[in-house]
Structure 1
């Protein structure tokens, strides 16, 4: 009987050792797979100033009117810049917001959160560092975010592009 206990103990030790080796191998392969996945897309950190320029140019290409950029550093921690633009109609506002979201996703790999596209009066895109507000003209005049955030047009001209 003593030999059966030792052979059974040896078998369980071998089985346990095999299971441990298989588990260690599985961990190694999963770590290698994760390392390969993360190594595929090295994304450079986005600087908010270059992002601001990119967004302003994209809005200008979509025929936005009165594009204004307000630096928010030192005023709030929600963003570094706020860009305000005007669309000619509800459809134009919604179209510009969707186009900007798509351009940010495709060209900058930024997933911007978007709100207000359904109504078309006021669309907001949040990229993290830059907040973008796209208004219809009447809605922009009503809320007057430039005044609220203290855009001082007497000392610095914040208008990036003037539509013709």
Structure 2
């Protein structure tokens, strides 16, 4: 279970990641709070790029920013194909997809409550970053 200090640092890391994704024009960014649900990370971020080149670029720039601005050595998988890139920044896991690949795997459906997924698909606003009810 993360301490208050750990939660603050993971929240700061999340903010840094979201800013980077915004700077690089990532689309359909969804944040899922995993605290209390998974030991692998505190947050999961799912985003899309318009094509394989943009997906790889978004991921590469994020890893570089984390290294130079926060001193974090994030691990990256899948950058060469650009279909689905996973960035493991310890407290935050980031998935960057091409839209077609994202639709196929539907990670939001696995990790978010059903009403939240329905709201996302209908286009209504929902703050997925809030802790999820058990």
The alignment's TM-score, normalised by the length of structure 2, stands at 0.81
Deviation at 1:156, TM superposition (A): 4.3
Query: What is the RMSD computed on CA atoms of the aligned residues?
Result: 2.0
Aligned pairs (5 A) from 1:145-156: 145-151=107-113, 152-153=115-116, 156=126
Rg comparison, structure with higher value: 1
Aligned position for 1:36: none
What is the aligned residue count? 116
Instruction: Specify every segment of 5 or more residues in structure 1 that has no aligned partner in the other structure, as ranges.
Output: 1-44, 160-164
Residue aligned with 2:101, SS:
helix
1:137 is aligned to 2:102? no
Q: Which of 36, 42, 47 is the equivalent residue of 1:80?
A: 42
1:131 shift after superposition = 0.1
Aligned mates of 1:74, 1:143 — CA distance in 2: 23
Residue 110 (structure 1) aligned to one of 54, 57, 72: 72
- For residues 40 and 76 of structure 2, the distance between their equivalents in structure 1, rounded to whole angstroms, comes to 15
Q: Which structure has more helix as a fraction of its residues? A: 1
Among 127, 130, 145, the residue aligned to 2:89:
127
Shift of 1:96: 0.5
In 2, Cα distance between the equivalents of 1:150 and 1:116? 24
Unmatched 5+ stretches in structure 2: 1-5, 120-124, 130-134
Q: Which residue of 2 aligns with 1:6?
A: none
Query: 1: CA distance between counterparts of 2:30 and 2:111?
Result: 12
The one of 17, 31, 34 equivalent to 1:69 is: 31
Query: What stretches of structure 1 move > 3 A for 4+ residues in a row?
Result: none
Cross-structure match for 1:157: 127
Q: TM-score, normalised by structure 1?
A: 0.66
